[in-house]
Structure 1
Amino acid sequence: MFISLTIIIVTFIIAYIVIPPLKKKGEKKTIVVFSLILTIGAVLNIAIGLKKNIPSPLDFITFIFTPIRNFLLSLLQ
């Protein structure tokens, strides 16, 4: 619980530092993208802090390309 609270506090500090200058410049799209990426990062860090199993992006790539590899190997043999 302490780790989650720490991550949330650090996330708010980062947002407090970065978002006001972007507001002054009128960068609405940048604020949305920044907030989205910051939120995803915070959620993933909280999940890691709570010892949840986070799948690797390599698992998805392997899932997609294994059938393609097997098909190509069957054509070449």
Structure 2
Amino acid sequence: MIMTIFILIISVAIAFVFIPKLKKNKETKTIVIFSIFLLIGAALNIAVSLRIKIPSPLDLITYIFSPIKDLIVSLTK
């Protein structure tokens, strides 16, 4: 629980450091993308600290491309 609070504090600190600079330069698209990535990163770090099993992105890529691989292999035989 303490690790979760620590991750949230660090994420808020990062936001307070970078967002005013981006706001000053009127980079609203960058602020949105930065906020999305910061939110995803904080959520994943909190999940890791709570020992929640996070699936690997490689599993999704394997699931998508294995039928394509099988098709190509069958065509080359």
TM superposition score category, shorter chain reference: over 0.9
What letter is aligned with 1:10? I
1:28-67 map, 5 Å: 28-67=28-67
| Structure 1 gaps, min length 5 | none
| Aligned-residue RMSD, C-alpha | 0.9
Ranges of 4+ aligned residues in structure 1 off by more than 3 Å: none
**In structure 2, what is the equivalent of residue 16 of structure 1?**
16
Partner Cα distance (1:26, 1:17) in 2: 15
**In structure 2, what is the equivalent of residue 71 of structure 1?**
71
The two structures have a TM-score, normalised by structure 1, of 0.93
Aligned-residue offset at 1:76 = 2.1
What letter is aligned with 2:48? I
- Can you list the C-alpha shifts for 1:35-76, whole angstroms capped at 9, x where unaligned? 010000000000011111111111111001111111122222
What letter is aligned with 2:73? L
Partner Cα distance (2:66, 2:5) in 1: 40
The two structures have a TM-score, normalised by structure 2, of 0.93
Partner Cα distance (2:21, 2:71) in 1: 53
Partner Cα distance (1:50, 1:43) in 2: 11
What letter is aligned with 1:28? T
Classify the secondary structure of the residue corresponding to 2:55. Answer: coil
Fraction of identical pairs, as percent: 52
